[in-house]
Amino acid sequence: MHDIHERLRSAGASTVCAVLDMLGVAGTITGLPAIRPGASFAGPAFTVQASTGPLGTYDPGDFDIARYADHAGAGQVIAIDAGGARVSVAGGIAALASARRGVAAWVVDGGMRDVDELGEAGIPIHVRHGVAVTGRTRVRIERVNGPIVIDGVAVEPKDVLVGDASGIACVPAQRLDRVAAMAGWVAGRDRIAGRLVREGLSFSRAFKEATAEYAALHGPLEN
């Protein structure tokens, strides 16, 4: 399974999103910029559903960050649906603690605090808002490892999230093998096209020749 995750990470979010489009799968997540551009990831989702409200809406104990920061496993991606609210669902210490457990990345449709410290965790973090607004009495963790929605995309536990500076793709677990195979084909073709452009070919000719060359070696792209 790790090999499939690495193949998806290597192909990149843009290529994986293109493949999802070919298959008619809604899996492109936008609007969650990377705190540390240049880092990439792929891993199964550890999903978190959070409700938010004004200060004093919930009991302090409802904001239980440990349910995800201390329980997401190595290689998993903590994915939090906070409805895009401008309130923090975690900060620098939680990110660091999760990184030390081997968590691969965070994807947060909501806010995170301590933006200056988040990069110190050393793992990719994509979040809609950097905020100073604490989640205490403003956030309630409803459940973990249930279905969530991020940027309109349904994310189930164990769906694989693939991310880099361009954006994030959500690959349904039941489509994993097919998407990985197609993404590998497209990425391989694109590497040849890039080489041909650097050698002086036009964009259109490079892609035509790259498609023919890669198909001759690996067979045609099938979806």
E-strand ranges in the chain read: 28-29, 41-52, 77-81, 105-112, 125-130, 139-144, 148-150, 153-155, 160-164, 167-171
| Burial (CB count within 10 angstroms: exposed 0-12, middle 13-18, buried 19+), residue 189 | buried
Annotated binding site for substrate: 91-94, 113
- Residue 154 and residue 44 in contact, taking contact as beta carbons nearer than 8 Å: no
What is the rounded average pLDDT of the residues 31-44? 92
- Check residue 25 and give its pLDDT: 97
**What is the pTM for the complete model shown?**
0.95
- Report the interhelical angle of 176-198 vs 203-218 (nearest 10°): 130
What torsion do the CA atoms of 79, 85, 90, 96 make, to the nearest 10 degrees?
A: 60
Residues of the binding site for Mg(2+): 114
Residue 116 pLDDT > 70 = yes
Of the pLDDT bands very low, low, confident and very high (cuts 50, 70, 90), residue 1 is low
Binding positions are 91-94, 113-114
Q: Does domain 5-9+27-171 match CATH 3.50.30.40?
A: yes
What percent of the chain clears pLDDT 90, i.e. is strictly above it? 95
Tokens of 41: 């990831």
